[in-house]
Amino acid sequence: MSNRSLRLLPFLAAAALAVWLLPPHLARATSAGGSPTAEVASMDQAVQQGAEIFASDKFGGVRTCATCHSNGGRTEGTLPGGGHIPSLMGVAALFPKFVPQKHRVITLEQQLAHCIQGGIQGKPPASDSPEMVDLIAYLTSLSKGAVMGTQFK
């Protein structure tokens, strides 16, 4: 390494430290490849955005969440083939959920990715994306007061 680049080292270290110390929301906005972060001022706002995403065609594909989960997910339904569509009231409290057929424990995010891929036939967003966070906030609001852990006998 030349003397010249050695002299630059303290500045590079300081710059790296400054990036590391940025508040997370600013760091997110500067990270490469991520979608722009929709800033939310409150949980209520995240829930509101989640409700809008629930009924939007944001993920591409042929359906929205609301196509199958009617009344904002508050009412159960039936698939055209006869399969049961559960109500989403209280459902957030059932996750993480054990799926015996697959011997797996799935998170609510993984469940949504499954519904987006299979049901909507769209592209699931990353678990930490603003869209996923807002959907989770919305579903959690439908579980207000639900008792957690009832899946454990």
Residues that bind ligand HEC (CB under 6 A): 54, 63, 65, 67-69, 79, 83, 85-86, 88, 91, 94, 111-112, 115-116, 119-120, 135, 139
CB of 61 to ligand HEC, least distance (A): 8
Distances (CA, A) of 30 to 23, 38, 76, 85: 11, 13, 41, 40
> For residue 42, which phi and psi values (nearest 5 degrees)?
-160, 165
Q: Cα(24)–Cα(30) distance, rounded to whole angstroms?
A: 10
- For ligand HEC, the closer CB: 31 or 107: 107
- For ligand HEC, the closer CB: 25 or 128: 128
Residue ranges of E strands in the chain: 77-78, 84-85, 97-99, 104-106
- For ligand HEC, the closer CB: 46 or 139: 139
CB of 96 to ligand HEC, least distance (A): 11
